[in-house]
Amino acid sequence: MSKFSINEDMLNAARNGDNEAMNELIRAFAPTVEKIAASYVGRCPLTHGDLIQEGMIGLLSSVYGYSSYGGAEFTTYSVKCISNCIMSAVRNQLRNKHTPLNSYVLIDSLDLTDGQANPEVVVEMQDRMGQLLNKIKNLLSPLEQNVLNLHIAGHSYNSIAEKLSVTEKTVDNALQRARKKLKEK
């Protein structure tokens, strides 16, 4: 998988906003995201860049959603999250009811050699991840940020509502506003 050692301290640092730890995770998992995304190229309507983007969202989800109490190692958990996120995007793309939502921002093609990420690609992924995190911090209200973080971590609307002491409708509205704000800018 990677030369990097991934431990609980690194995960906690990444969750708490440590850019160096997040960059380390991105470097470690870039070849994995590329490999999983490449397996769908040509078999679905999503572009290679879209698949990479979905894989990186899956990685982000795994960082915030991982708990060692489940018994699985982070590597196993993150690969499953990356795969599930990509498969979910492919399924959603193929469903007609989601046609208006399927206007993703394209990411330029990534160039990987021998399973190792090209340094330029890693820097580009880190930059895009940083931009996404800054957008989230700058555009979303605290409620929208909390709801989005819990949603990315895999919590249901009901679970999020209970944790934040709000209604499920408030959770849904916050997610809809967050999506709209993040797509507009």
CATH assignment at residue 70 = 1.20.120.1810
Q: Is residue 167 part of a domain?
A: no
Q: Is residue 37 part of a domain?
A: yes
Q: Is residue 1 part of a domain?
A: no
Tokens 């499953």, residue?
A: 80
* Res 3 pLDDT > 50: no
Sequence-separated contacts (24+) of 65-69 with Cβ below 8 Å: 65/152, 65/153, 65/154, 66/11, 68/8
For the stretch 37-58, what's the b/e string if a residue is b when 16 or more beta carbons lie within 10 angstroms of its beta carbon? Answer: beebeeebebebbbbbbbbbbb
Q: Which pLDDT tens digit goes with each residue over 50-109?
A: 899 999 999 988 888 887 777 888 888 899 999 999 998 888 777 655 555 544 444 454
The predicted pLDDT at position 110 comes to: 47
Q: Which pLDDT tens digit goes with each residue over 19-41?
A: 888 888 888 899 999 999 998 88
Measured CA angle at 177 (ends 175, 178), to 5 deg = 60
Tokens of 13: 């640092």
The single-letter DSSP state of residue 16 is T
The predicted pLDDT at position 96 comes to: 56
Q: Is residue 2 part of a domain?
A: no
Q: Is residue 151 part of a domain?
A: no
The predicted pLDDT at position 105 comes to: 46
- pLDDT interval class at 161 (50, 70, 90): very high
Pure H helices in 66-116: 74-94
CA nearest neighbour of 132 among 48, 37, 54, 27:
54
Question: How many independent structural domains does the chain possess?
Answer: 1
| pTM assigned to the model | 0.53
Domain coverage including residue 104: 8-118
Q: Distances from the Cα of 43 to the Cαs of 12, 22, 47, in angstroms? A: 36, 31, 10
